[in-house]
Amino acid sequence: MGAGVAGLTVGNFLRRNGVDCIILERRAREYVEARQRAGTLDTRGVRLFREWGLAEVLDGGPAPEVEGGFFIDGHPMPIEVDEDDNESIFIPQQVLVRRLADIFLTEGGEIRYEVDVTLEDVAGSSPVARYQDRAGATVAIGCDYIAGCDGDRGVTRASIPAGALTRYSHEFKYSWLSVLAAVPGKTAGMAIHTRGLAGLIPRGTENSRIYLQCLNEDTVTQWPDERVWDELEARVGQSLGRGEILSKEIVALRSVVHDPMCYGRVYLLGDAAHIVPPMSAKGIHLALFDAETFAKAVIAQVRDGDPGLLDAYSETCLHHVWNYQAFATWITDLMHNAGDPSLEGEFRKQVARAELRRQFESEAANRVFSELTSGIA
Ligand SMILES: Cc1cc2nc3c(=O)[nH]c(=O)nc-3n(C[C@H](O)[C@H](O)[C@H](O)COP(=O)(O)OP(=O)(O)OC[C@H]3O[C@@H](n4cnc5c(N)ncnc54)[C@H](O)[C@@H]3O)c2cc1C
């Protein structure tokens, strides 16, 4: 279920290993392949596609020549990066999705777009995906397994009986104004400032994504274009090329985990199972981890009749998910507390700044921060 990053990755991994599957997607192909979100793939993701023989998805077109880094109260804070260990690449999420779909379809895979599916008998040994085709005929697909890769608002998790899963969540005290602007992506950086966090990240060669920490109760109308640019420049501490603003939305920062990540023969992957705040830039990473874990497990079951990996699917993924939730919560609080003291106070701000300085002096942490400045959508 779902032709996003998780669904298409599972589809490709399974097909290449002789396991039949059909991908069902609620939206039109054009919509899915134009949806802008993340902009990079981290080192693990790059290595994953290479290992599974899908290196061709990594060629995302010309990477923007980028300058930048971290700014604290308007002053640049350079970080040293061990480039040998950092293979993360710029690749807009929609380009990754388009390439994965192209490969899947070219190799004979089947994606049915614009289908409104209901799932039946999810507790049984042969759950059914049912929808009406364009001619009004009912199509029913009997499934051995259903991979719910249909995001946080998809139908898969909603089909699991209430009470079967536990939902753990955390809402942060601040939100982000997320802006897409038609300015060439020449600067990538995060600015920590008493006015609040700001981020400027290239989106391809023509556009940039701007993030501005704002209040949870803010609305887009409180952020006219002029205010966006003024605030960004104030937080980064330099004037930047201004351009047309293409879209604006308020993004609430939250963390969510559903446990277990399966029910009967239905398995949850990616955003259908968990959400990490965008500050961590790890949504794609987690979707790919689930996709690989699930694909390996199904292949072991289908090829060798070995159910062990499927039985362990939820536990394996949740172990990884909670590690990344820990990272995401830490980095999100650290970056916000080091700037605006209005929520947690001046003491926490000084502690966060000391922690940041310590991180910048550590080689291992520098890789994380380097991936972050390129990885936030
Ligand atoms: C504004 C924004 C910025 C982000 N920035 C980053 C970032 O910088 N780095 C990062 O790693 N992650 C980022 N993320 C998170 C990342 O985009 C997600 O974690 C990732 O897309 C999860 O992949 P997925 O395949 O699980 O879900 P999706 O990519 O959401 O795919 C789900 C698919 O299921 C389809 N679907 C939904 N309902 C149904 C249904 N009923 N039936 C069939 N199909 C259905 C959807 O149309 C969609 O195609 C960002 C997210 C947002 C919203």
The predicted pLDDT at position 361 comes to 78
**Nearest atom in ligand 1 to 270's CA:** 26
pLDDT in tens, 250-283: 999 999 999 999 999 999 999 999 999 999 989 9
* Pocket mutation for ligand 1, best pick of 139, 150, 256 (most atoms within 8 Å of C-beta): 150
Determine, yes or no, domain membership for 355: yes
Model confidence at 364, pLDDT cuts 50, 70, 90, reads low
**Shared domain check, 151 and 260:** yes
> Does any ligand 1 atom lie closer than 6 A to the CB of residue 24?
yes
Half-sphere exposure for 76 (CA within 13 Å, toward CB)? 10
Identify the pLDDT of residue 29. Answer: 97
Q: Measured from the CA of 156, which atom of ligand 1 is nearest?
A: 41
Work out the average pLDDT over 67-83.
Answer: 73
What CATH number does residue 152 fall under?
3.50.50.60
pLDDT of 88 higher than 50: yes
- Is 111's C-beta closer than 6 angstroms to any atom of ligand 1? no
Quote the pTM value. 0.93
Q: Which tens digits make up the pLDDT trace of 197-231?
A: 999 887 777 888 999 999 999 999 999 999 999 99
Binding site membership of 10 for ligand 1 (Cβ less than 6 Å): no
Q: Are residues 291 and 319 in the same domain?
A: yes
| Residue 74 region by backbone torsions, left for phi larger than 0, else alpha for psi between -120 and 50, else beta | left
251 Cβ closer than 6 Å to some ligand 1 atom? yes
Does 366 fall in a domain? yes
Q: Is residue 304 part of a domain?
A: yes
Task: Sort strands 138-142 and 128-132 into parallel, antiparallel or unpaired.
Answer: antiparallel
CATH code, domain carrying 186: 3.30.9.10
What is the DSSP-derived secondary structure letter of residue 63? P
As for how many domains the chain has, the answer is 2
Query: Is the CB–ligand 1 distance for residue 1 below 6 Å?
Result: yes
Task: Answer yes or no: do 176 and 194 share one domain.
Answer: yes
Q: Which amino acid is at 313?
A: Y
Q: Does the CB atom of residue 37 touch ligand 1 within 6 A?
A: yes
Note whether 101 and 182 are same-domain residues.
no
Query: How far apart are the CA of 256 and the centre of ligand 1, in A?
Result: 14
Residue 373 has pLDDT above 80, yes or no: no
3-class secondary structure, 275: strand
Place of tokens 């364009």: 134
pLDDT of residue 375: 46
Examine the domain organization and report whether 248 and 179 are in the same domain. Answer: yes
Same domain, 303 and 345: no
Distance 278 CA to ligand 1 centre (A): 12
Phi, psi of 208 (to 5 degrees): -135, 150
Residues 284 and 354 in one domain: no
pLDDT tens for residues 120-135? 999 999 999 999 999 9
Portion of the chain with pLDDT greater than 90, in percent: 75
**CB 147, CB 10: distance < 8 Å:** yes
pLDDT at position 83:
61
pLDDT in tens, 318-360: 999 999 999 999 999 999 999 999 989 999 999 999 998 888 7
Whether 154 is in the pocket of ligand 1, judged by its Cβ within 6 Å, is: yes
- Look up the domain containing 13 and give its range: 5-62+87-168+254-331
Residue 376 has pLDDT above 60, yes or no: no
